[in-house]
Structure 1
Amino acid sequence: MAGELLTTVVHDDRDVFTVRQIGREVAEAVGLDDLDRIRVGTALSEVGRELVAGSRDAHIAFRVESAVLIVEITYTAGRQSIPPAGVMLASRLMDDVRHDTGVRTITMTKRIANGRAPGDEVLGELRARMTDSAPTGVLDELRQQNRELAAALDDAQAQRERLLQLNAELEETNAGVLALYNQLSEELEETNRGVVALYAELDEKSAQLREASEARNRFWATISHELRTPLNSVIGLVRLLLGPGGDSLTEEQQLQIELIGSSAQTLLALVSELLDMAKAESGRITPTWSQVDLTDMAERLRMTLRPTSGADTVRLVVDVSGGPRVLVTDEVLLTRILRNLLSNALKFTEAGEVSMSARLDGDDIVFVVADTGIGIPREYQQRVFEEFYQVPGTAALNGRGTGLGLPYARRLTEALGGTLHLSSTPGSGTSVTVRLPLVSDAPGDGIPGTSAGTSGPGEPDTPGEG
């Protein structure tokens, strides 16, 4: 939208005051604020003063185009060039000032803040009012300038007070941020000290655990040296007393000596299993690989454990037909694993059946020992693999149990590169699955003497009991 508001001329100083007044009123009519009105009036008076000082006449036109107030000043030739001071000051007050000396035109523009030009009706009223307005006197214009100056000073004072208030708030905010930063720094430093102390405590605990582990290993080594020899001596003496070359014994004496031998065998087996547990934890059990007749090994286990199975109430079933005839493994370790599992099953089964089966599953051989015994509650099914742990309420069935059977069997299974898992339902029985990788040929002779126990694969060692 475009519209010419009005035009006026400047011949002398009086006209300069008039054009200043007209500039303010035009600015007000198009919607400029108070400060912009003063800027437009001041820019016109400065340029008009320079033109009049050079004995020039000027024609000034006001118009609005695209929400922009345009003031176009056309002047006549003068005796000397126009000093640049007035135009430079006007350029600081207006949005854009262009001086074309070739056509003797100065164009000044000011954007209307609301972005909208006044309508035709408003422009008409403004033209009529500007045409009918009387010229402004010097004193009246001076009075108006003083009022504008006072308003500008008041505004500057208000802005200065506002700036001081903002500075005070900023300083207060900075003080709060600094205090918060200091607090966070102290908390972080305290946390760091706590972390360092925690690491130190963890290092200390680790050292204590290493010392405890070394002490336990030394203790078991002492047991091996101090207990194995006298226990073997006791077992040998029992055999001499019960052998054909010994003195004749009464039935009661023979029973007592057999009890002594059985107790010594049990203690010797417990010592051996404790040592094997220590070796397995430290990774020092090295299997002695060899070819094992799986059927013969299973039959020996069945014959060894059958007397303890309670022939009238518990049936022991061993079926390994699903596995290979010959298996490459450490016979001593595998025998001890299965003997411990069968012994536990028989011990906790008062009536029903205990079974052991073998089958091939891909590249693995799977042994399953199942019973119809009392079962293990779900909350204890992981704890039974802790050393010396016994399920509460089974003391009457445990007899001489030590809580080492299942942990011992799992350690030996892991030494053979396999896994051992347990599933159980209270009142229905327990099933233990041993999964071992198949070995196509014996990897080597192993390290003699590192396998468990002192007895051979066929000797009826008393198993560790869980």
Structure 2
Amino acid sequence: MSTPVRERTLGTLALAAHGDLFRLRRYGQTVCRALGVGEAERVRLVALMSEAGAELLAATGLTAEFVHRSGAPGAIGVRLRWEEDRASSAHVLAAAGRLLDVCVPEPRQLLLGQNAAADPVRAAGRVREEPAGVRETDMSEELNEQNRALLAALQEARAQQDRLRRLNKELEETNRGVLALYSELSTELEETNRGVVALYADLEDRSRRLRLASAAKGRFWANVSHELRTPVNAVIALARVLLAADAEPLSEEQRKQVSLIAGSGSTLLALVEELLDTAKAESGRLEPQRTEVDLRTVLHQLRGTLAPAAAEGVALDIEDAAFPGRLVTDEVMLLRILRNILSNGLKFTEKGSVRLSVASRTRDGAPWAVFTVTDTGVGIPEDQTDQVFEEFYQVRGPHQRGRSGTGLGLPYARRLTELLGGSLTLDSEVGRGTRVTVALPADLPAHGRPAALPEGPLLRSVVLIDDDADFLRVLASTLDPLAEHTTTVTDSRTALRTIRTTMPDAVLVDLAMPAPDGYQLLEQIAAVPALHQVPVVVLTSANQEALERSRLTRARAVLSKTHLTAVRIAEALGLAPAADRAVAPDAGTEAPAEGRGER
């Protein structure tokens, strides 16, 4: 709410001649001094009211009324009044608006003033002369008074100019300091940016080298594992030949040693397969092949395989409960996951038990299979429960003596579990044992279930060519539901003659064989016009990136030897609908770029 403005009249002068303007100036200075108006403000007010009075001097009834206006702040002013219709000039009003605190032009009057905080009642006693009694002042005295006022104003202006000069100097110094600081900060920022760019380039180079090293490690693992698998298979095959019922009889000691060779070869083969699968998983080339699994068969295989590994005083308890509903997953991966976890438990349990239990759970409305392996072994320190999932890491301690291992078991099991869409968790306590829980989705949506073969054999005959006899036996049994008759060839030098003699419905050939290898055999088949309609599928354990694609144009498709099934082979030959790749991808199957549309 604004305070009402009140005015108190201090005195009035009639203005009719130039002498009245001298009295106006004289009285104005007296009133301003009495009310404590500063020198500069007093000069401006007196000069402007004199100028306005001189312009209006000829107006009828011109008077000057000195007033004090109360408020916040108060003001001392002079109100000029006249009776005729005329107004002050524009330049007087503009100067007053610029130099004075109060300038209020109204019809037939003009109020000019400056702020003043003094009490007008007290100030009135200090106004010694009434307006009517102000004595006449001659021109020289008035000029002297004006000169003194101008001199005072000049001194005040000079003082303000000096203050402005000092402020400008301080501002310039401040600006120089700011510019110096800005320059310093800019230099530091540029150096920091250069350092960040150099660091980023170094990190990028290190990342590139790490990627190359990781790729080289993956290739090394895959190549070494592939090269090791052939001699290991040969050792196992020779041991089986020596132990066969129709072989020459061996002494008890010889039979025991050959059995030891076969067992060690099987263990070495399992380690080689783990290395190969780990390399494939790291490079993203290991893909699950989901089929409906008979869990009782899986548990029976685990029981038969691992029971001999249990130490004396350790019970291997694998429950034989039937799993309710369907269990659709990769059977080979599931076997390897459970075998690794159970083997770990048996290895580090000296007394007590290792137990595998199976339960059904529901997550988000979907069925899940939960496998829990508990043992009463040495346990794992709490600060190392995460490190045991690092490749090649092994918990140090006296329990490691006499227990061989690569440190790949748990990392491999977790990687396979994640590939199957599940999770593997571990809880352990030193001296009390370990519990490992594997949770896997138990079924696929109806649209994502693996494709099945039509009823009955689809092919009359198939020729299989590979220098690994054990692999041929396994592959031949895999093709039983697909083909009526299967011919196996271990010597690639006779392969072309066998194909021309039997004229099969399909040929499956390995790439890595003694001369002629798979590439050369494809060229020989392509050179025979009568064999142009026989589809050929290439089988390989090599990386897909390492294949010579330009030499595979004769092949219908290229299949990885890992997880070969009749369904995959039938799909490659165009005899069965392809499975839903969004759910059951097969990165190991690829048709040659040049020959995908041949047939």
TM norm structure 2: 0.66
Shift of 1:168: 1.9
| Aligned pairs (5 A) from 1:82-101 | 87=92, 91=96, 93-94=99-100, 95-96=102-103, 98=105
Query: 1:11 and 1:208 mapped to 2: Cα distance?
Result: 103
**Mapping for residues 278-357 of structure 1, pairs under 5 Å:** 278-311=279-312, 313-321=313-321, 323-324=323-324, 327-357=327-357
Identity of aligned residues (%): 47
Deviates more, 1:190-199 or 1:439-448: 439-448
1:409 aligns with 2:413: yes
8 Å CA contact 1:344–1:405 kept in 2: the answer is yes
Measure how far apart 1:279 and its partner are: 1.5
Match 1:424 to one of 413, 423, 428: 428
1:347 and 1:397 in contact (8 A); partners too = no
Asked if 1:71 is matched to 2:74, the reply is no
1:175 alignment partner in structure 2: 176
User: What's the counterpart of residue 461 of structure 1?
Assistant: none
Cα distance change, pair 64–241 in 1 and its aligned pair in 2 (3 A): same
Q: Distance in 2 between matches of 1:86 and 1:355?
A: 108
One-letter identity of the residue aligned with 1:368: T
Higher RCO structure (Cα 8 Å, ≥6 apart): 1
Compared CA separation, residues 98 and 88, structure 1 to 2 (3 A): same
Shift of 1:47: 4.1
- Structure 2 runs not aligned, ≥5 long: 1-5, 454-558, 565-599
Aligned residue type for 1:383: Q
Q: In structure 2, how many angstroms separate the alpha carbons of the residues matched to 1:327 and 1:82?
A: 106
Cross-structure match for 1:112: 115
> Mean Cα displacement is larger for which, 17-26 or 128-137?
128-137
- Choose 295-304 or 248-257, whichever is displaced more: 248-257
Distance (Å, rounded) in 2 between the aligned partners of 1:357 and 1:292 = 17
Q: Which residue of 1 aligns with 2:360?
A: 360
Report the counterpart of residue 443 of structure 1 in structure 2: 450
Cα 1:302–1:10 shift into 2, 3 Å: same
Question: TM-score, normalization: structure 1?
Answer: 0.83
Q: Any idea what the Cα deviations from partners look like across 1:388-424, whole Å, max 9, x if unmatched?
A: 1101115535611111111111122122221111111
1:32 corresponds to which of 17, 34, 37: 37
Partner-residue secondary structure (3-state), 1:32 = coil
Q: Distance in 2 between matches of 1:2 and 1:184?
A: 60
1:68·1:109 contact (CA, 8 Å) conserved in 2? no
Distance 1:295 1:156, change over 3 A: same
> 1: CA distance between counterparts of 2:426 and 2:172?
70
State the AA in 2 paired with 1:347.
K
Q: Please give the per-residue CA displacement for 1:219-244, whole angstroms capped at 9, x wherever unaligned.
A: 23322442222112222222333344
Once the 2 structures are TM-superposed, how far is the Cα of residue 23 of structure 1 from its aligned partner?
0.4
Aligned residue pairs, count: 441
Q: Which residue of 1 aligns with 2:551?
A: none
Judged with a 3 Å threshold, the aligned counterparts in structure 2 of structure 1 residues 342 and 72 are, in CA distance, closer, same or farther, namely closer
Aligned-residue Cα RMSD (Å) equals 3.3
Give 2:437's aligned residue.
433
Partner of 2:494: none
Distance 1:154 1:315, change over 3 A: same
**Whole-Å Cα distance in 2 between the matches of residues 136 and 430 of structure 1?**
118
Instruction: From the superposition, tell whether residues 106 and 323 of structure 1 become closer, same or farther in structure 2 (CA, over 3 Å).
Output: same
SS of the counterpart of 1:288?
A: coil
Q: CA deviation at 1:316?
A: 1.4
Structure with more of its chain in helix, by fraction: 1
Please list, as runs of the form range in 1=range in 2, the aligned pairs for 1:172-211 lying within 5 A after superposition: 172-211=173-212
2:319 is paired with a residue of what secondary structure? Answer: strand
Query: Could you tell me which residue of structure 2 aligns to residue 382 of structure 1?
Result: 386
- The whole-number CA distance in structure 1 between the counterparts of 2:260 and 2:286 is 32
CA contact (8 A) 1:294 1:326 kept: no
Deviations 1:281-333 (A, max 9, x none): 2232233333322123212312321222124x211111242633763322222
For structure 1, the residue ranges without an aligned partner over 5 or more in a row are 453-466
Task: For 2:379, give the aligned amino acid.
Answer: G
Give the Cα separation in 1 of the matches to 2:298 and 2:136.
132
The separation in 2 between residues aligned to 1:59 and 1:423, in whole angstroms, is 106
Q: Closer, same or farther in 2 for the Cα pair 1:15/1:89, shift >3 Å?
A: farther
For the 8 Å contact 1:30–1:112, the answer to whether it is kept is: no
Of the structure 1 ranges 239-248 and 409-418, higher mean CA displacement relative to structure 2 is found in 239-248
Indicate if the aligned counterparts of 2:21 and 2:54 stay in contact, CA closer than 8 A. yes
- Counterpart position of 1:19: 24
Matched with 1:236 is 237
Residue identity matched to 1:210: R
Comparing 278-287 with 418-427, greater Cα deviation is found at 278-287
C-alpha deviation, 1:264, in angstroms: 2.4
Alignment of 1:128-277 (within 5 A): 134-277=135-278
Change beyond 3 A, Cα 1:17–1:412: same
